[in-house]
Amino acid sequence: MDENLEEQRAAGAPEPPSQPEGQAGPPSGAQVRRDASAGRDLYMNVRVLVTMMAVFVLLFTFVARVIVVSGPSMENTLWGGDLILVWSLGYEPKQGDIVVLTQESYQEDSIVKRVIATGGQRVDIDYGSNTVCVDGEPIREDYIREPMLTPGWGEGINHVVVPEGCIFVMGDNRNESADSRYPAIGIVDARCVIGRGMAVLFPFRHWKGL
């Protein structure tokens, strides 16, 4: 090989360019493939992450969500700080259900109450006998915390036929509950209902179905 190189030099042939010291040569085919593979893996991971985030957003917007109970209005059924699972998809309010709703005329945050009557039903509340009648029949309320007292704001909305597409709600802790009796809340449009409370998730000592 040395003789051939000498002959090329003698014939004036240019010498092959030498690799500058410290400079790497062009990447090998294997390295290019590894880089491309790493890029595809990163792309797929990001795509999976974005898809999962979109699914969770849709799930907790239209199907179910988790709500933290605030205040004493649903004691002893629910306590402040309880974490409850709320089902939204396809839900229509029914008498006796615990629901989460919004009523901006009262407050921006969501509130938790029990459905006493739905559209077309008549509600009559008698504080003297501690009874709530729907369509003339007293409803069984073994869930209320204590006998009702006349609220500080007066008897409020206590004799009413609920319009279609609306609900009448009350708290289980009647003496500590602003609900449909309270003028700022009143009769609630069913479209304001976020969903039905299905279970208490946390704290674990309060776990139960609703």
Q: What is the DSSP string of 106-133?
A: TEEEEEEEEEEEETT-EEEEETTTTEEE
Domains within the chain, CATH numbers bracketed = 63-209 (2.10.109.10)
If phi > 0 it is left, if psi is from -120 to 50 it is alpha, else beta; for residue 96 that is left
**Per-residue pLDDT, 21:** 53
Q: From CA 114, how far away is CA 185, in angstroms rounded?
A: 14
Sequence-distant (6+) residues with CB within 8 A of 173 are 72, 73, 74, 75, 76, 144, 145, 146
Active-site residues: which are they? 73, 113
Burial of 137 (C-beta count, 10 Å sphere; 0-12/13-18/19+): exposed
Cα Rg of the chain (Å, integer) = 35
**Per-residue pLDDT, 84:** 97
86-123 tens-digit pLDDT = 999 999 999 999 999 999 989 999 999 999 999 999 99
pTM, two decimals, is: 0.73
Q: From CA 159, how far away is CA 11, in angstroms rounded?
A: 116
3-state secondary structure of 89: coil
Below-50 pLDDT ranges, the chain: 1-2, 5
